[in-house]
């Protein structure tokens, strides 16, 4: 088996494990509480996590995680003010969670960790989730950098 194929299998197993945990946390009625706790952790360690992954700019949070995790197909559209819109039209984790009948995995395992890294790299960044694949037809996040 080729290394590329092995990585894809591991990515699918990991996404499945995350979707299963969302299903179980949701069934136990603690998903929202755990998501809020994890959000605080993601914000506290966002810059360190980004550095650990070799991410040096807010847009790389989306592109490098897309490459590494193989989950969502994030693309970046820069705007004229130095910000950007990140969009995804497919996400393995979201699809698996829906198939299992789980609640949305978007915040706990994707959007909040990415927001923590974005704000860790740019403390003045605004991070606005417009839509998710769980709720709609695509995931869309607008990131703007406010003057320091």
Q: Which of 144, 23, 7 is nearest to 93 (CA)?
A: 23
Query: Apex CA 135: angle with CA 43 and CA 90, to 5°?
Result: 80
> pLDDT tens digits for 40-80?
999 999 999 999 999 999 999 999 999 999 889 999 999 98
> pLDDT tens digits for 81-126?
889 999 999 999 999 999 999 999 999 999 999 999 999 999 999 9
Q: Taking the complete model, does pTM exceed 0.85, yes or no?
A: yes
Helix H or strand E segment including 52: helix 31-52
């Amino acid at each position: 088996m080729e290394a590329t194929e092995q990585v894809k299998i591991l990515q699918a197993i990991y996404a499945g494990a995350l979707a299963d945990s969302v299903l179980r946390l949701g069934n136990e009625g603690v998903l929202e509480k755990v998501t809020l706790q994890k959000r605080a952790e993601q914000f506290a360690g966002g810059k360190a996590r980004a550095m650990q992954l070799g991410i040096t700019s807010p847009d790389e949070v989306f592109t490098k995680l897309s490459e590494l995790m193989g989950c969502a197909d994030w693309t970046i559209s820069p705007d004229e003010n130095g910000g950007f819109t990140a969009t995804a039209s497919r996400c393995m984790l979201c699809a698996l969670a829906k198939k299992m009948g789980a609640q949305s995995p978007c915040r706990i395992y994707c959007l909040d960790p990415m927001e923590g890294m974005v704000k860790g790299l740019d403390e003045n960044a605004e991070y606005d989730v417009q839509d998710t694949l769980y709720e709609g037809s695509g995931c869309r996040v607008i990131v703007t950098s406010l003057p320091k």
